[in-house]
Chain A
């Protein structure tokens, strides 16, 4: 699981005291993760930024309601997930703009065959993730891309642990099937 420097309890106390600098630190610490979740869910950088900004603005407005029984990062993931799923469910949602900019990237040593073949794998994986049903995609994004535990995912999405485990398993089976030709 990736480190979460913005989960410092002192930061929470300063946020509750209304310290402006504390809020800035929160945004700095979590901006990339929140943006990453939004991008993987929505497939558009512009839309992802819009949602990611909204996540922090809402967090800023509702800090008083945050009881502190979850980590700050989990709380932000919960807001981000809800906003993304709502946006995807909205009937007037604009068509997703696909392109190279939204492609995920793999490190050079992730695939023994460098260059062109790695880019093929990246494109295939991008499409496979994008093709997942939204309720499964969010679980894969939070678990395998963001490194949340089952319990944190359950907390962020308001699901039972068993549901998280089941959705994650189905999502991985889907991905394996779509990536079959690239797997050893």
Chain B
């Protein structure tokens, strides 16, 4: 190896980047060449000097200035970045957001009675013929006959009281919500009688016509389903009928019908609304009282049908 060839390897020697063969050959040359050893020493010193230079530091505020510039990236580039957002990240985020919105809506609905009320009471227009006064029985809607039945038996509550829609038939009693909806379809909104009156004011029918409508309503009420319906199982029919008569009298009510049925009698009575609770408690003393439908109606008097059976 010549001195020139040896000195070509100095840089790699300093960096320990020589192959084993190069290292052996260079060591052999250096061992016999004082000039190359001195040259290597100077070479090593200059490399050490350069490496000793202290690192530079970026000026104060450099990071903020870079971030400000990076944020000022044109909108179309930022949009592109959003669009190419990796799907494995985007999809779960989207799904989580949808679930969160669903849960929030559900919670909001459950905790807001007004929303539930609004969802239950569809704002149906008041039937044109439904004109009612403070103490007048509610007129049925002049709707098709199928929708008339639920309105039968409804009575307008006194001013200020809350009126609950009647449950017109035993079949519908099993589904109160559906029952209530059906009642609303055929009757004006009971919670706002005053509003209905105001709205009807502009198109109010003449008084005689209104009275006639009320009369029809009363007739239909007589023919309709009772407000309270149940079975009273007793040991002695005759004795029980006698006790029932006394109870009706004590309650200030009256018997409106009586007819025999299999295993006993069916009696219909009218009881003042205010005595209704007491009346049903007393019924339970006469025999085993099983109410098929409870009185949700605010009608007064309350119409009760009792199947007195053995």
A contact set with B: CB distance below 8 Å: 2, 16-18, 23-24, 27-28, 31-36, 39-40, 45, 49, 52-53, 56-57, 60-61, 64, 104-107, 110, 121, 125, 129, 140, 143-145, 150, 165, 168-169, 172-173, 175-176, 179-180, 182-184
Contact = CB atoms under 8 A, between A and B. Distances in A.
B46 A175 contact: yes
Given A31-B62, A125-B53, A165 B42 contact: no
Nearest to A174: B46
Interface of B: 8, 10-12, 14-15, 17, 41-43, 45-47, 49-59, 62-63, 65-67, 69-70, 73, 77, 81, 84-86, 89
A39 B73 contact: no
Contact of B49 (A36, A165, A179): A179
A56 B66 contact: yes
A159 to B, nearest CB: 15
A146 to B, nearest CB: 9
Contacts of B67: 23-24, 27
A150 B16 CA distance: 11
Contacts of B65: 49, 53
A75 B290 CA distance: 86
A172 B17 CA distance: 15
A169 B63 contact: no
B43 A172 contact: yes
Contacts of A140: 50
A49 B17 contact: no
A35 B89 CA distance: 34
Contact of B11 (A31, A61, A172): A172
A56 B58 CA distance: 13
Given A27-B63, A145-B50, A145-B55, A150 B15 contact: yes
A110 B49 contact: yes
Nearest to B61: A49
27 contacts: A2-B55, A18-B81, A24-B67, A31-B58, A33-B55, A45-B59, A49-B58, A52-B58, A52-B62, A57-B69, A60-B73, A64-B84, A104-B53, A104-B54, A105-B54, A106-B54, A110-B49, A145-B53, A150-B17, A165-B11, A165-B12, A172-B46, A175-B46, A176-B43, A183-B46, A184-B41, A184-B42
A169 B11 contact: yes
A38 B292 CA distance: 92
A182 B62 CA distance: 36
A contacts with B: majority SS: helix
B59 A110 contact: no
A175 B136 CA distance: 114
B58 A35 contact: yes
Nearest to B84: A64
Given A64-B84, A129-B50, A49 B62 contact: yes
Contact of A106 (B12, B52, B59): B52
Contacts of B11: 165, 168-169, 172
Contacts of B57: 32, 35
A2 B272 CA distance: 97
Contacts of B77: 61
A16 to B, nearest CB: 7
Contact of A144 (B17, B47, B81): B47
Nearest to A36: B56
B59 A179 contact: no
Interface centre among A28, A52, A169, A182 (most CB of B within 10 A): A169
